[in-house]
Amino acid sequence: MTRGDWSWRGYLADRMTRLWIVLLPALLLGLFWDSAGVHLAWGPFYQGTEGNAVQQIDVSQNLGVAGLVCNAAFLQTLACQTYGSNGPLWSLANEFWYYLWFPALYGAWHLRRTPLALLCVLAALVTMGLFHGLVEGFLFWLLGVLAQALETRLARMATIARRKWLVLPALLVFLAAIALTKHKPYADAAVALGFFVLLLAVLSTRIRIGHAGLSRLATVASGFSYSLYLTHFPLTLLIAAALVKVRLPVGVGSLGLAALILLGCYAYAFAVYWLFERNTRRVRDLLGRPALPAAERGQNI
């Protein structure tokens, strides 16, 4: 917007390419794994009666076309349930609407009172009213914008930039905030503010991973974390229902099995990334959009 070359058309092309290139395959893969699980391992896990906190619905009743379309339109938790067993999809609706509301509101301030800007503000306010349950989270999300705005100013202060040990107390603040999650109704605000402090410390001190191998591993892992986020649960549920079958007591064997399942989910997610997510730039080019700068390509959502 500052350069004058921003447009809703280009922005939405970038955003929808980024989101749909993984979401649409993830929904179809979820349909496949859940259908297989319902037919091959039907029982408490798929009925939602096993007693765990993350799967409490009858999956067989949640695999219709309407639910799939609703989730593809980022309306999960707003107009429908998350699709199939894939409960982690709930937060994608938040991400989608926050990334629409912010440019609508910021554009109205930056571009002043143009008819398009006012229309965008009106649309943002209307959808905020319709999806009022997302507004609190949007305020927490804006803390990330504030961290970005403060980063450069704080990094210029040499006395702060040299003190990388500040990340440690910031991490402790974040962990303390997580410990407060049992004390509603301030749990979400505490975690958001704690993470804001940690994020600001990491950004302003310009701390980096020193070991080249660990840095490379972090880069690779962040590259397919979006695919992992959208695809891991239906496969994990099938493994738990078909192979594990019962809740295991904590021990070396059960922890080892959990680690194997975790590694399997990582391998599966990387395969999804290789087939779909890594082609995001190519799809953008086919749509006539220039590829994003390298810094933006590393961002997940």
Residues 6+ apart with CB under 8 A from 94: 134, 137, 138, 141
CA neighbor of 300 nearest in space, from 274, 271, 280: 280
Residues 6+ apart with CB under 8 A from 60: 38, 42, 46
Percent of the chain with pLDDT over 70: 92
Coil vs helix vs strand at 272: helix
Question: Please, how many CA atoms are within 13 Å of residue 107, restricted to the half-sphere of its CB?
Answer: 24
CA neighbor of 41 nearest in space, from 244, 248, 256: 244
Within 10 angstroms of residue 82's Cβ, the number of other Cβ atoms is 22
CA neighbor of 231 nearest in space, from 275, 269, 260, 271: 269
15-29 as b/e: b if 16+ CB within 10 A: bebbbbbbbebbbeb
CA neighbor of 41 nearest in space, from 300, 278, 206, 239: 239
For the chain, report the end-to-end CA distance as a whole number of angstroms: 20
112: left (phi over 0), alpha (psi -120 to 50) or beta: left
Handedness of CA 86, 280, 103, 114 (dihedral sign): negative
Q: How far apart are CA 80 and CA 83, in angstroms?
A: 8
Q: Which two tokens stand for residue 49?
A: 């009666």
268: left (phi over 0), alpha (psi -120 to 50) or beta: alpha
Coil vs helix vs strand at 52: coil
Low-confidence ranges of the chain (pLDDT < 70): 112-113, 155-162, 289-301
Asked if 300 contacts 277 with a C-beta cutoff of 8 angstroms, the reply is no
Looking at the whole model, is its pTM more than 0.85? Answer: yes
